[in-house]
Structure 1
Amino acid sequence: MSSDPHEDSDPALTLLRDALARQDGEDLARALLLATLPPVPSGDRAPVLALALEASWHTLHEDIARALQVHRDPRTVPALARAARTKHAYLAYDDSHAFARKCIWAMADVGTTEAHAHLQELAQEADPEIAGYARRRLARWDEERGRKGA
Structure 2
Amino acid sequence: MEGGQAMTPEEQDLVMGLVFVPGEGRTHTLDEVLAHFGESDGGVLALRLLRDAMERRDAGEVEMAVIVHAAAGASEQEFLEPLIELSRADWHTRHEDVVRLLGKLRSPRTVPALAEAARWVPEYLDWDENRALAVKALWALGAIPGAEAREALEGFRDDENEIIRESALKQLARRGEF
Q: Does 1:94 align with 2:107?
A: no
Quick check: 121-130 or 18-27, which moved more? Answer: 121-130
CA distance in 2, matches of 1:91, 1:35: 26
Q: State how 1:1-150 maps to structure 2 within 5 Å.
A: 10-37=44-71, 39-142=73-176
Give the secondary structure class of the aligned counterpart of 1:122. coil
Is residue 77–residue 115 contact of structure 1 (8 Å, CA) maintained in 2? Answer: yes
In the alignment, structure 2 segments of 5+ residues that lack a partner are: 4-40
> Partner amino acid for 2:130?
S
Distance 1:77 1:34, change over 3 A: farther
Q: Deviations over 1:11-58 (max 9, x none)?
A: 111221221121111111111223344634132312211110110111
In the alignment, structure 1 segments of 5+ residues that lack a partner are: 144-150
Quick check: 64-73 or 115-124, which moved more? Answer: 64-73
* TM-score, with structure 2 as normaliser: 0.70
Is residue 80–residue 107 contact of structure 1 (8 Å, CA) maintained in 2? Answer: yes
Give the structure 2 partner of residue 147 of structure 1. none
CA distance in 2, matches of 1:92, 1:28: 22
| Residue 122 of structure 1: how far off its partner (Å) | 1.7
> Partner amino acid for 1:46?
L
> Partner amino acid for 2:131?
H
Distance 1:44 1:28, change over 3 A: same
Higher relative CO (Cα under 8 Å, sequence separation at least 6) belongs to 1
Is residue 54–residue 62 contact of structure 2 (8 Å, CA) maintained in 1? Answer: yes
RMSD: 2.3
Give the structure 1 partner of residue 20 of structure 2. none
Q: Percent identity?
A: 35
Distance 1:142 1:34, change over 3 A: farther
Q: Deviations over 1:90-141 (max 9, x none)?
A: 1122211111000111111122221111001122222222111111100111
* TM-score, with structure 1 as normaliser: 0.82
CA distance in 1, matches of 2:99, 2:116: 12
